């Protein structure tokens, strides 16, 4: 705001502030002796203020020097701390902390993996491994079931069991193809049911976690009210 003010406005504000701080001298009707006493009093006041000003300036210089020494000492301590941890001497003296190296302290070489590679270390876990194993077992069982030796039901009085009256005779190859299609459809339905069950379980777990968090918050609020 002061930058936008004109020179005349600043001078006017200065006069107003000085009028509050500097009181006018009531020296009307003073003789020579009283004027000398008043001048001596003002001189002593000026000397006192100048002395206090000098003391404050020296105190400020001493405090600035002490702060500079403390900062230098802190830098030296941080350098020693970084060297003990095996880091660069200037690693802890900067504005930001050093990057975390995701590597064992027993390894001799520095970790050169990228951020994406390090991030993948914390993704998945036992759940992902379990899903991969289950999917592998499922595919193996499915391949075994599809490639099994198929045995046909014997004809009863010249007809296949389950055949309705009036239906035409189906060739042997078409019967096998139809049976395979039915099996694949059944397998797809089973897979969809399994996926739906897993999604429902995940939703239930999330709801339980939310309820637990709400209960914990209510308990904390009750404890705060009791305190």
As a whole number, the mean pLDDT across the chain is 79
Residue range 109-115: mean pLDDT, rounded:
72
pLDDT score, position 167: 65
pLDDT score, position 161: 64
The separation between CA 210 and the C-alpha centre of its own chain, rounded to angstroms, equals 20
Q: What pLDDT, in 10s, does the model give residues 124-169?
A: 777 888 888 999 999 999 988 888 877 666 667 666 666 666 666 6
**Stretch among 45-49, 68-72, 100-104, 122-126 having the lowest mean pLDDT:** 100-104
> Which residues have CB under 8 Å from 44's CB, separation 6+?
none
The pairs formed by 133-142 with CB atoms below 8 angstroms and a separation of 24 or more are 142/187
In which residue are the tokens 């339980």 written?
Answer: 208
pLDDT score, position 193: 77
Distances (CA, A) of 11 to 2, 20, 24: 12, 15, 19
Question: DSSP secondary structure string, 149-179?
Answer: PP-PPPPBTTB-TTPPTTPPPPPHHHHHHHH
Question: DSSP secondary structure string, 203-227?
Answer: HHHHHHHHHHHHHHHHHHHHHHHH-
d(CA 103, CA 113): 9
d(CA 92, CA 81): 8
Higher pLDDT pick, 33 / 28: 33
pLDDT score, position 173: 47
Q: Is residue 64's pLDDT more than 90? A: yes
Q: Is residue 187's pLDDT more than 70? A: no
pLDDT score, position 162: 64
Confidence of residue 27 (pLDDT cuts 50, 70, 90): confident
d(CA 206, CA 71): 50
d(CA 124, CA 159): 55
The pairs formed by 184-189 with CB atoms below 8 angstroms and a separation of 24 or more are 187/142
């Amino acid at each position: 705001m002061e930058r936008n003010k004109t020179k005349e406005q600043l001078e006017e504000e200065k006069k107003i502030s000085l009028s509050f701080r500097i009181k006018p001298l009531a020296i009307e009707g003073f003789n020579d002796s009283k004027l000398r006493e008043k001048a001596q009093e003002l001189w002593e006041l000026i000397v006192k203020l100048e002395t206090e000003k000098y003391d404050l300036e020296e105190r400020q210089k001493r405090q600035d020097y002490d702060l500079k020494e403390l900062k230098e000492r802190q830098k030296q301590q941080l350098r020693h701390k970084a060297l003990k941890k095996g880091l660069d001497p200037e690693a802890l003296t900067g504005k930001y902390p050093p990057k975390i190296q995701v590597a064992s302290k027993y390894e001799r070489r520095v970790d050169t993996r990228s951020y994406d590679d390090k991030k993948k270390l914390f993704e998945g876990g036992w759940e992902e491994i379990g899903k991969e194993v289950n999917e592998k077992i499922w595919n193996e069982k499915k391949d075994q079931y599809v490639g099994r030796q198929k045995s046909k039901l014997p004809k009863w009085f010249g007809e296949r069991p389950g055949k309705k009256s009036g239906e035409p005779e189906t060739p042997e190859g078409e019967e096998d193809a139809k049976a395979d299609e039915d099996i694949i459809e059944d397998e797809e339905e089973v897979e969809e049911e399994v996926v739906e069950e897993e999604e429902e379980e995940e939703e239930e777990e999330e709801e339980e976690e939310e309820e637990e968090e709400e209960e914990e918050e209510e308990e904390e609020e009750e404890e705060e009210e009791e305190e």
